Structure 1
């Protein structure tokens, strides 16, 4: 019996040691002389910690401990690394409260790091207010990162975009919150371009621009169980600016809520562009006091003086299903398509949008669009050929 217990203890000890080995070594920025006082630049300490972590082949963790605030100037943490890496962000990261560069920049960039997980209860604060007259500084960027996971962190007051994904594949963003004033310019929550297989879930976006923006070169995106507002909604585009060719495919937005946003779900493109945007599913969405809950606009032109052009990004196969709530504008549905490149395959099913101004009735504005109606659709929509 004694031998049995000894063997059992050895097996348990071996299992614990094996699990510890799988977790890998933990590298704290405090061990590399970070001050964590919110006023000393800790960029060098972060870089040294990253170099040690990235060079470890045992699936290590870079630890940014809670209870401290780390001031960072612009920093890039590059791969490839020798094994999967976890960044445990439990402390707070803050940007300098001064104009610290005159060129476009990201505060913190992860570049060419595959199998990266960023997790924790910490916050990144961009001190964005001093930048909002020029807004060309991003907060957190991932470039050429595959098999990326970002979970549970908080992003606040970025000078410009809060999180950017560029040329990333197989990305999961879960339970991330983004917060900036509703009038802060260009403070998109998550912006992605040339990326694929992006899954965003259980997130909260309160911004001054798009909650999520999906730019050209992006495909296979799924956004679900997330809340947007204030902000400009979840947007595909803008596409085709400066007469460029765009491609966006297979985008799903489901089980999301929108409150006091400019648009709910929208696809926007410039005149003069080319290419295609297709394969959209927007379903099970709740709108509260949203200006344009459903919006397709092939005449996107913020300056307001764009000359007419015949070419356009072709928009097709966009399904809107089970969308309910209120619009702050009587024009609850707006589908404005080019006469030369008409929208095709628009599908509306079970739409019920009333005006939050009780004296007004909602209506739809439709031009140059072919589509299908199923179930009850309010307000009334009339497609070409119907």
Structure 2
């Protein structure tokens, strides 16, 4: 009897399943026209719903400045809208993207983007950030856009993002342009301060009020595919300024400006520069170091692959008398110079004042390699080593250097020449 009950139960279950399948097949045919009764349409609906949920989630993790009142017409002041959007993006769990859309120009006064942030990972600039041309709009005279205290951040310009400092009004009032004007500071266009694990890529910066990009007190920084431009006579418009920063890589970038293409100052360690194009500008400068009798330390600088065209300098180390510290373990290699005024220069007696008195101390410059450097000098002196009498330059190596059109001027330096070297110090 028990055996019969078990068989009956199995039979009932089978009949119920068959009935359910037929009903389901009928629903699929009626609703979506699949004559074979397959579940393809149901699966497609499920996939589309998942895509919709994913897209919704993607929207939820992005803060768009347009949703906070930014107009992007190039005339309306969008500063407060950006500040509101940043506050939301930085303080909300799950938000990973701060987004500036393309096709629009956002007029901004001095703006501070401060962390730490909860989950923000991307600062995406697809439109144009345009600086106010009213100097009175700058409560902070040292900064226009200041990004600070955010870790693990990518600042990405895509193929359309531009930062425009509209610096002409500041240049006109510079004492370097108009001697009758007092020498005052001007804002840096983009300051990156106290950031760890920073990635800056695909960014276009132009016509900064003063320095274009300043990287300060950062660690683990990658800069790639940036284009920086300003007129060759624009004062103090350094392309990339680096100070008190460790572990930096700058690659595949093109800088033409009115001051140093890259300026490297105190506290910079382990800087790698690859595939750089520079000109116009003042070249790559380590320094100035030791100003106002200060201590300065720079080490682990490697420039490998660069082209300088029509620049005032090529690769330069400059230090003030009276300072102390060291600039050491530096390599300049695989570099092409075209019509450069000072292709290779070390100046331990740098002076940017009317008079500079002889002093007892200097920043020590040592262990510097110049390798595989070629091209032409625009002046009669292609290589200048103007070193300190009391702290002469040490361990300077010229290896396979061939710069045509100028001689070498070497003072208080012991140079080791390897391979073909022209012009020669000896």
- Residue aligning to 1:359: none
1:99 aligns with 2:96: no
Of the three residues 358, 372, 376, the one matched with 2:416 is 372
Number of equivalent positions: 376
Deviation readout 1:216-269 (Å, 9 max, x if unpaired) = 011011111010000000000000000000000100111110001111011100
Q: Aligned in 2, Cα 1:10/1:370: closer, same or farther, shift over 3 Å?
A: farther
Whole-angstrom CA distance in 1 between matches of 2:94 and 2:273: 33
Separation in 2 of the partners of 1:39 and 1:91? Answer: 14
- Aligned to 1:185, which of 209, 231, 235? 235
Is 2:91 aligned against 1:47?
A: no
Residue 216 of structure 1: aligned partner: 266
1:4 offset after TM fit, Å?
10
Deviates more, 1:19-28 or 1:307-316: 19-28
Matches within 5 A, 1:191-230: 191-230=241-280
Match of 1:25 among 61, 66, 75: 61
Q: Per-residue displacement from partner, 1:246-301 (whole Å, max 9, x unpaired)? A: 00010011111000111101110000000011010100000000001111100110
Equivalences for residues 33-182 of structure 1 within 5 A? 33-58=69-94, 60-100=96-136, 101=138, 104-120=141-157, 121-132=160-171, 133-134=173-174, 135-182=185-232
1:19 and 1:34 mapped to 2: Cα distance? 23
Distance 1:75 1:225 in 2: 32
Aligned to 1:310: 360
Offset at residue 104 of structure 1 (A): 2.7
CA contact (8 A) 1:53 1:85 kept: no
Q: CA distance change for structure 1 residues 9 and 342 in 2, over 3 Å: closer, same or farther?
A: farther
CA offset at residue 304 of structure 1? 4.4
Structure 2 distance, partners of 1:366, 1:9, is: 78
Residues 1:44 and 1:369: Cα distance change in structure 2 (over 3 Å): same
Which of the residues 282, 288, 302 maps onto 2:338? Answer: 288
State how far apart, in whole Å, the 2-side matches of 1:309 and 1:119 are: 46
Contact 2:110-2:140 within 8 A present in 1 as well: no
Where do 4+ consecutive residues of structure 1 move more than 3 Å? Answer: 1-24
Distance in 2 (alpha carbons) for counterparts of 1:249 and 1:84:
32
Structure 1 CA distance, aligned partners of 2:373 and 2:44?
A: 58
- Give the structure with the higher percent helix: 2
Give the drift of 1:102. Answer: 7.0
Structure 1 residue 56: deviation in Å?
Answer: 2.9
Give the TM-score, by structure 2 length.
0.84
Question: Unaligned stretches of 5+ in structure 1?
Answer: 356-361
**Cα RMSD (Å):** 2.2
Cα deviations across residues 124-150 of structure 1 (Å, max 9, x unaligned)? 111111101335211001110111111
Greater radius of gyration (CA)? 2
Change (3 A) 1:96 1:8: closer
**Matches of 2:45 and 2:389 in 1, distance apart?**
77
Q: Which residue of 1 aligns with 2:177?
A: none
Q: CA deviation at 1:88?
A: 1.1
Structure 1 residue 303: Cα displacement: 2.0
Instruction: Report the secondary structure of 1:113's partner residue.
Output: coil
Residue 23 of structure 1 contacts residue 60 of structure 1 at CA under 8 Å; is this kept in 2?
Answer: no
SS across alignment from 1:31: helix
Q: Distance in 1 between matches of 2:208 and 2:93?
A: 34
**Change in CA separation of 1:289 and 1:16 when aligned onto 2, cut-off 3 Å:** farther
Instruction: Give the CA deviation at 1:25.
Output: 1.2
